[in-house]
Amino acid sequence: MLQCRAERGVARWKGLASVLTRIDHVGIACRDLAAKVVFYESVFGLTVVSMETNEEQGVKEAMLAVTEGAPQPGVSYVQLLEPLGPDTPVGRFIARRGEGVHHVGYGVTDIAAALASVETAGVRLIDSRPRHGSLGASIAFLHPGDIGGVLTEFVQSSHDSAGTNPGISN
């Protein structure tokens, strides 16, 4: 019975393009970025491809490529996030829930179209327009309350842009 329902579900969505193209990164909140970078490098053999401070989001962050060899287009990342202070989104997250998984970032090919699509489906947007993310990407967050408690981020990487203008606003 369950299988029949699942098959009908698959049939229903067949032919529609997927909004999500890949898992771009998992965002992990931590108290000490330098220590966590050393941990992920030494235990999992990951490589840091960028470290930056994003004042707008109140974080210091490192992107570590999950791949063999040099990062390629379409590669996925671990994104380690240390809050710049207690009164920031990640600072409040750690105070409430401790260190751990903070959000999931999914790749999209056209972030404006992806935002419009999920908003039509009834998902609230935290960012109604894309903004600047790591590695030159355009990013936007969706409301976790409409996605089973998962803070969800769309990422249109500089590799994915396909000539479209994501219309970033600062």
What residue ranges bind Co ion (CB under 5 A)?
27, 79, 105, 153
To Co ion, the closest distance from the beta carbon of 126 in angstroms equals: 12
Q: Collapsing DSSP states into helix, strand and coil, what is residue 93? A: helix
Q: Which residue number, 27 or 166, has a Cβ lying nearer to Co ion?
A: 27
Query: φ and ψ at 96, to 5 degrees?
Result: -80, -45
Q: Which residue number, 80 or 112, has a Cβ lying nearer to Co ion?
A: 80
To Co ion, the closest distance from the beta carbon of 120 in angstroms equals: 24
CA pair distance 90, 75, nearest whole angstrom: 25
Q: Which residue number, 57 or 110, has a Cβ lying nearer to Co ion?
A: 57
CB 147, CB 123: distance < 8 Å: yes
Q: Residue holding tokens 């970032």?
A: 105
Tokens describing residue 43: 């235990």
To Co ion, the closest distance from the beta carbon of 66 in angstroms equals: 14
